[in-house]
Structure 1
Amino acid sequence: MGDCDSTISEVEGEENLIAAARHIVKALGSNKKLTFSARKTLAELGSQLSTMAALNETKGVGVSEIEDRLYAVEEKILSWEEDQSMIWDSGPEEASEYLNAADEARKLTERLESLCLNKDDDEYKLLHRAHNVLQKAMERLEEEFSHMLVENRQPFEPEHVSFRSSEEDVLDEGSIISFGDESIEDSLQRDSLSRASEEYILDLVHPDVIPELRCIANLMFNSNYDQECYQAYSSARKDALDECLFILEMEKLSIEDVLKMEWVSLNSKIKRWVRTMKIFVRVYLASEKCLSHQIFGELGAVCVDSFVEASKASMLQLLNFGEAMSIGPHQPEKLSRILDMYEVLSDLLPDIDALYSDEVGSPVRIECHEVLSRLGDSVRATFLEFKNAIASNVSTNPFAGGGIHHLTRYVMNYVKILTDYCEILNFLLKDHDEDDPSSLSPDMSPTKEEENKSSISPMARHLRSIASILESNLDGKSKLYKDASLQHFFLMNNIYYMAQKVKGSELRHIFGDEWIRKCNWKFQQHAMNYERASWSSILSLLKDEGIQNPGSNSISKTLLKERIRSFYIAFEETYKTQTSWLIPDHQLREDLRISTSLKVIQAYRTFVGRHGSLLSDKHIKYTADDLESFLLDLFEGSPKSLQNSHRR
């Protein structure tokens, strides 16, 4: 006993030293730059200082007095053993008394431990008894702690802080495989995510119980029941975080589940994931870390550890979905959705790095960076696959009516949507040209105008490349038509559509006016070639060559009648054929009708006017006005016939 008494006497004169040391430990413990191990050591030192302070408080207490005090504490603690109700539900006075009794049990246990007892001493039995009382008190406090966390959980109402899209989960089925969705522009519309209320701290637990939770946590940690408190907190908050994800409709899916999912369902889940990430990280996790600080803020590193332990599983669940998307098939219809995922994760990266800045949070932080990198790789691979899909899209039959092919509509609406991701795509495609030499075609070389300015962006190069691949594919599809005029008609329609899509959208700034001028020139050339192929042979029937009498310059009435009859037959056949052809664009349709009408009507008026005296009314089947009216029926996509018609 002599050594123990000596130790106690040395402690008696150290109150000021202990207080100063505890102040230093607390200050150092709040330093976020310290390593996890250093902060843990400081926490342990703080606990030892608390023990020394407790020894000072009880240094003058005798064993008999300790036994009396222990008896009183024991009576209080055991009085709640059989009671099924919760102490903190009985009112603040009862809760305070129980907390004081538990703290007294801690002090008495520490005092008895300091006496260096032998197993044969009566005091040792007293120590064993004190341990039992303290254990029962800590077990009850753990139960009360968990109960308060669960029962005082605040309801999570995401509609108050959500980042809504302009349309709620519209399911789309647009697919590069079929290119048959006429509503592809609508189906590929990007979510418009509001950035309102992004910095929003919620009270996840009712504020009134925070001081009580903090008192219980401090006492349990001071009593060396830190693991029990830590685990109780983590378990309760894990459940709360799981409930949050459930409310946000983010179900737990394995990578295998995601890879097996149909695109319609997967597309909806990606949209939900994008919105959930913003709410979960910027609102819920920020609030979760705040709650952890409110309860464990006085205990140093425990504050960070408890937050990470509680939130890690939920965060990794969300990142697991991102990883599944990055390793799945690189189907082109997924590109805009993967870009949405990349964008939101990239945007949230500083928030996640800040939330998990300590060493204990590094697994989440590292996983987040890795998933972002994999999503970037997936974007590049999907972009390349999109090009391959366009190039390899094969048709076995000509496109009916020579209108705008589904492939053209899909691709141009697709690249139009990609303008929303200029910054991301320029970043991700910056060094991709070297990896994919086929990405640039000869048509894509910079113009002098561009060389005089800054070099074109990576995204511009790749979108021009896509347009070039599409044009090459359309050229191959045009060869399926046996009629040369319909080949040019088809290319005119599709190239005009491409030009209009670029000219009337943000694509204009990416493709540039020079590209639009080239495109306009191309479709005008095809329009001119169509007219030549369709009408040159018909208009040649309205020329005088071949209708003169042999050996004379006079016109043969017989040959003239035969010539005008041949013209009507050719015109009627062209009318019947080309009323079934389609020009969807109203302006282009009108322009081509006017151009064709000017040539045909002028030639017809001239021919009939010159030779009308040699022809009777029965030979003049149609007037010029009739023909002009007939030409207005062309390119509507509805076949008509004039073979049995009479003069209008």
Structure 2
Amino acid sequence: MGDCGFVIPESERDEDLIAAAKHIATALGSKKNLTDDAKKILADLSAQLSSITTVNENKVEAASEIEERLNVIEEKIMSWETDQSMIWDSGLDEATQYLNATEEARQLAERLETLSLNKDDGEKELLRRAHDILQMAMARLEEEFKHILVQSRQPFEPEHVSFRSSEEDATDLGSVISLGDDSVEESVNRDSISRASEEFIIDLVNPEVISDLRNIANLMLISGYGHECSQAYISVRRDALDECLFILEMEKLSIEDVLKLEWGSLNSRIKRWVRAMKIFVRVYLASEKWLTEQIFGELGTVNLVCFSEASKASMLQLLNFGEAISIDPHKPEKLFPILDMYEVLADLLPDIDSLYSDESGFCVRTDCCEVLRRLGDSAKAAFLEFENAIATSVSPNPFAGGGIHHLTRYVMNYINTLTDYRETLNLLLMDRDGEDPITSSPDTSPPTEEENTSGITYNASPMALHFRSVTSILECNLDEKAKLYRDPSLQHIFLMNNIHYMAQKVKNSELRHIVGDDWIRKRNWKFQQHAMNYVRATWSSVLSLLKDEGNSSSDSVPKTLLKERFRSFYLAFEEVYRTQTAWIIPDAELREDLRISTSLKVIQAYRTFVGRHTNHISDKHIKYSADDLQNYLLDLFEGSQKSLHNPHRR
């Protein structure tokens, strides 16, 4: 045997080997002539055999003890397999006992794995039993976990959230005005959008069950059933998120379904989407993230995966709607809803990035950025279509009465409303190509130092340049519409009314800070020129009848000629009265100013003519006094045709 010790490999430590080794040791020990080394080896062998015997005896005892405990645990676990009720509905004590029993089953299975038992059929069966009991308990815990999540859900009431819905009280620009000659509403209220970063955490499940859910999740994860627990959570919470969207009136629509919707129905859904996005992201998703952290927060990244997987489908449903809107035809009336969608999504992007910060949320972050880009492109395209629609708007007939054309109201209300989106529009219009009339029109180039003398600094932002371009396009269109009138006087009334309206709309709104005071001054000069041209076109020929030829005195003018001149003047005045009482100047101040300037010119000429010839013609040939004519001039431009031959005209 030499100097080496006699060590029995662990792989050979079975009862037969031990017995054989003992027999050899006993036989050798009976010999009288053993060396000291041999005696030492025999002593070591004897000690090892004794230790092996003790360990095996302990393992057998441990296995026996484990079997006894498994019998008890199995009975506890099996007692609930035939019970239709839920454990956690039976009270805290029963739930605690079940958790403790399951935890003990897990520990016993681990002990059996670590014990180096002889792998005979009986011992294999014991280990299999332990795993079966644990699996049965895990399946039951999964059911209990889902049951608690479902039964403890708190009702979601979005009306109690401070985000106000403006769907009912906002006036939709596109629904009340168009590029045609339809009715117009002056006041346009933009759908108010809260841009403040507001986040509200609400309890999506009863706070009293959080500890139970956490205990179940912890036990399932350390038992190797984390995937089953996560899937149970995801399935229940995915349904809850779907119900949240249902409460927010966001029905599931494919892109094809959205594209088939009529504008009225689509616009209503856009308003609901804008509101739903704010509530869903900042209230519901923030609360959902908090819930996953409370339950899974101590279990690594499980909470991140559970949150992303549970909410991903609902977020993609909302984003699909945004994508559908972005590819819908880019009509001008859709610009405001699209801008609302763009601004809300842009405002929520930091929240979404924070909620989906891990790898499992990458697709949501990516889709949000893509939909935001598409909405921006769509808004830009709708704005370009707006410019094109103004340029190509054609009226087959002149606008009745020479008043403010619906196109003028539409355009000025439209761009006035767009001032609420100035930051967004400046961003979206910044990369526009320079192919339109921005550089060619005098109204889109910065004013000279002499022109810009007001306190309002000229705004050279992309939005300001494009607004100036829009107003120039509108004026060109109005010039074409004015040509539809046969009467030059009415052409000037029409252009005066519309340019004055444009100037006032800019002067009395935020547009003044965008297009500048120099723009207003140019329009003031233009409408005043049209007012002067009106007076000249209308009254020059009428007043020419009151002028004496050369230096001839009253005595040299034949009475018959005087009578004819008075008669011709009255006929001309009455025709102007009959025609121009039907014309309209909607602005009271502008109407009064034109009446005054007309009266000064007409009445003064009439007084002079009558005063010069009053002694040479009978009073019966003087049909109207100067005061009569002055009063009649007050009837002009009211939009209601009258006649001086009608005794009830007043």
Shorter-chain TM-score category? 0.7 to 0.9
Mapped partners of 1:5, 1:83: distance in 2:
46
Q: Deviations over 1:392-450 (max 9, x none)?
A: 1101100000000000001100100001011111111112143x434554121111238
Give the drift of 1:2. Answer: 3.3
Give the drift of 1:644. Answer: 5.2
Matches within 5 A, 1:305-324: 305-324=305-324
Select which of 509, 515, 518 maps to 1:511: 515
Give the drift of 1:162. Answer: 3.6
Q: Is the alpha carbon distance of 1:298 and 1:3 closer, same or farther for their aligned partners in structure 2, counting shifts above 3 Å? A: farther
Match of 2:222 in 1: 222
Q: Deviations over 1:469-527 (max 9, x none)?
A: 01100100000011111111100000000000000000000010000000100000111
Mapped partners of 1:218, 1:619: distance in 2:
112
Matched, 1:501 2:500: no
CA contact (8 A) 1:169 1:271 kept: no
Q: Deviations over 1:121-171 (max 9, x none)?
A: 211112222222112111111111001001111111112214114562657
Mapped partners of 1:431, 1:628: distance in 2:
58
Give the drift of 1:181. Answer: 3.2
Matches within 5 A, 1:214-613: 214-434=214-434, 436-443=435-442, 444-449=444-449, 456-545=460-549, 554-613=556-615
Q: Which moved more, 1:176-185 or 1:304-313?
A: 176-185
Q: Is the alpha carbon distance of 1:556 and 1:93 closer, same or farther for their aligned partners in structure 2, counting shifts above 3 Å? A: same
Give the drift of 1:369. Answer: 0.7
Mapped partners of 1:647, 1:231: distance in 2:
85
CA contact (8 A) 1:171 1:264 kept: no
Select which of 635, 638, 641 maps to 1:636: 638
Mapped partners of 2:632, 2:594: distance in 1:
14
Mapped partners of 1:61, 1:296: distance in 2:
39
Structure 2, unpaired ranges of 5+:
1-8, 15-57
Match of 2:10 in 1: 2
Give the drift of 1:553. Answer: 7.6
Q: Which moved more, 1:518-527 or 1:168-177?
A: 168-177
Match of 1:183 in 2: 185
CA contact (8 A) 2:459 2:514 kept: no
Q: Is the alpha carbon distance of 1:647 and 1:374 closer, same or farther for their aligned partners in structure 2, counting shifts above 3 Å? A: closer
Give the drift of 1:180. Answer: 1.8
Give the drift of 1:192. Answer: 2.0
Mapped partners of 1:259, 1:283: distance in 2:
29
CA contact (8 A) 1:576 1:641 kept: yes
Counting matched residue pairs gives 592
Give the drift of 1:115. Answer: 4.5
CA contact (8 A) 1:185 1:414 kept: no
Partner of 1:378: helix, strand, or coil? helix
Q: Is the alpha carbon distance of 1:515 and 1:542 closer, same or farther for their aligned partners in structure 2, counting shifts above 3 Å? A: same
Mapped partners of 1:462, 1:392: distance in 2:
17
Q: Is the alpha carbon distance of 1:597 and 1:165 closer, same or farther for their aligned partners in structure 2, counting shifts above 3 Å? A: farther
Q: What letter is aligned with 2:441?
A: P
CA contact (8 A) 1:293 1:303 kept: yes
Mapped partners of 1:388, 1:647: distance in 2:
45
Partner of 1:62: helix, strand, or coil? helix
Match of 1:22 in 2: none
Q: What letter is aligned with 2:480?
A: G
Mapped partners of 1:275, 1:530: distance in 2:
51
Match of 1:36 in 2: none
Match of 1:52 in 2: none
Match of 2:621 in 1: 619
Q: What letter is aligned with 2:638?
A: E
TM-score using structure 2 length: 0.87
Give the drift of 1:174. Answer: 3.0
Partner of 1:622: helix, strand, or coil? coil
Q: Deviations over 1:328-362 (max 9, x none)?
A: 11010111111111111111111111111111111
Mapped partners of 2:477, 2:617: distance in 1:
50
Give the drift of 1:643. Answer: 3.1
Give the drift of 1:264. Answer: 1.4
Q: Which runs of 4+ in 1 moved over 4 A?
A: 3-6, 58-61, 115-120, 169-172, 194-197, 450-455, 546-549, 644-648
Partner of 1:581: helix, strand, or coil? coil
Q: What letter is aligned with 1:555?
A: V
Give the drift of 1:117. Answer: 7.1
TM-score using structure 1 length: 0.87
Match of 2:38 in 1: none
Give the drift of 1:532. Answer: 0.8
Q: What letter is aligned with 1:2?
A: E
Match of 1:131 in 2: 131
Q: What letter is aligned with 1:642?
A: L
Partner of 1:149: helix, strand, or coil? helix
Give the drift of 1:59. Answer: 8.7
Mapped partners of 2:458, 2:12: distance in 1:
83
CA contact (8 A) 2:252 2:317 kept: yes
CA contact (8 A) 2:397 2:484 kept: yes
Matches within 5 A, 1:78-157: 78-115=78-115, 121-157=121-157
Q: Is the alpha carbon distance of 1:591 and 1:175 closer, same or farther for their aligned partners in structure 2, counting shifts above 3 Å? A: closer
Mapped partners of 1:145, 1:605: distance in 2:
101
Give the drift of 1:607. Answer: 0.5
What is the alpha-carbon root mean square deviation over aligned residues? 2.5
CA contact (8 A) 2:149 2:236 kept: yes
Mapped partners of 2:649, 2:64: distance in 1:
130
CA contact (8 A) 2:459 2:516 kept: no
Give the drift of 1:202. Answer: 0.7
Partner of 2:620: helix, strand, or coil? coil
Matched, 1:209 2:214: no
Mapped partners of 2:98, 2:12: distance in 1:
31
Mapped partners of 2:242, 2:155: distance in 1:
13
Which of the two has higher C-alpha Rg?
A: 2
CA contact (8 A) 2:452 2:517 kept: no
Give the drift of 1:645. Answer: 4.8
Partner of 2:237: helix, strand, or coil? helix
Mapped partners of 2:59, 2:583: distance in 1:
105
Give the drift of 1:242. Answer: 1.1
Q: What letter is aligned with 1:466?
A: V
CA contact (8 A) 1:166 1:191 kept: yes
Partner of 1:618: helix, strand, or coil? helix
Q: What letter is aligned with 2:556?
A: S
Mapped partners of 2:198, 2:349: distance in 1:
14
Mapped partners of 2:228, 2:388: distance in 1:
58
Q: Is the alpha carbon distance of 1:382 and 1:645 closer, same or farther for their aligned partners in structure 2, counting shifts above 3 Å? A: same
Give the drift of 1:539. Answer: 0.7
Give the drift of 1:185. Answer: 3.2
Partner of 1:185: helix, strand, or coil? coil
Q: Is the alpha carbon distance of 1:125 and 1:637 closer, same or farther for their aligned partners in structure 2, counting shifts above 3 Å? A: same
CA contact (8 A) 2:441 2:472 kept: no
Partner of 1:368: helix, strand, or coil? helix
Partner of 2:81: helix, strand, or coil? coil
Give the drift of 1:176. Answer: 3.3
